[in-house]
A and B are shown apart, each in its own frame.
Chain A
């Protein structure tokens, strides 16, 4: 399923979506960036409450399909621009990491 279809199905708020047609193949939940680096797979929807610059770098390096910021976390304008420039899809949701993870899993 594409990132855009996933976002629509889960009513995620798009913060930036430079690559709406990326395929979502799996999911990963984590906030410790080194742990995410070691374990998230290419094509995953990465669910996290972290929203600093390094999140964009980790998303680029792990080649995840999108980042879903849970628990109402969002990105400031500068970070949105950075994510856009690096081709990283980022969404926000009020749901908890667990709740959104369960919904992503049910859809895949």
Chain B
């Protein structure tokens, strides 16, 4: 069976609509009959990525490949890149502004949550060029 693919543009200007792509994916996975823990892990990981793209990278794109045995989420942006990936992976480390924190984000849990809820998280990043995240959730 060929993979089902979904593409979303994540709007970097609109903080209030952040999460729309994740909510849409959640709905699609539910319609496709995936187990609820798989749906939960995919939507949490994708939401964290979406929020990161809005906070740090002025938006980007999200592509989701759905196959019977795994779901692959690819998030790509042309933001500032991550200078120190190891540091960014640390729980509690954040470069978010105070304004972002007052909205309930910037806890430094984004990348750690993505790692925790997926089977693999691959980060390709270049400072000044952008970041591409590939996450796989096994069914």
Contact = CB atoms under 8 A, between A and B. Distances in A.
Given A34-B113, A37-B44, A54-B104, A61 B36 contact: no
Interface in B86-100: none
Interface in A60-79: 60-63
A10 to B, nearest CB: 24
Interface of A is mostly: helix
Contact of B44 (A32, A38, A52, A53): A38
A63 B22 CA distance: 13
Given A37-B113, A42-B40, A61 B23 contact: yes
Interface of B is mostly: helix
Given A32-B109, A52-B16, A63 B40 contact: yes
Contacts of B109: 32, 34-35, 37-38
Interface residues of B, number: 25
A34 B115 CA distance: 13
Contacts of A33: 103-105, 107
Nearest to B103: A52
Interface of B: 15-20, 22-23, 26, 36, 40, 43-44, 47-48, 51, 103-105, 107, 109-110, 113, 116-117
Nearest first, the 10 closest Cβ-Cβ pairs linking A and B are A57-B19, A34-B109, A53-B16, A33-B104, A32-B107, A61-B43, A50-B104, A34-B107, A38-B113, A37-B44
Interface of A: 31-35, 37-38, 42, 50, 52-55, 57-58, 60-63, 86
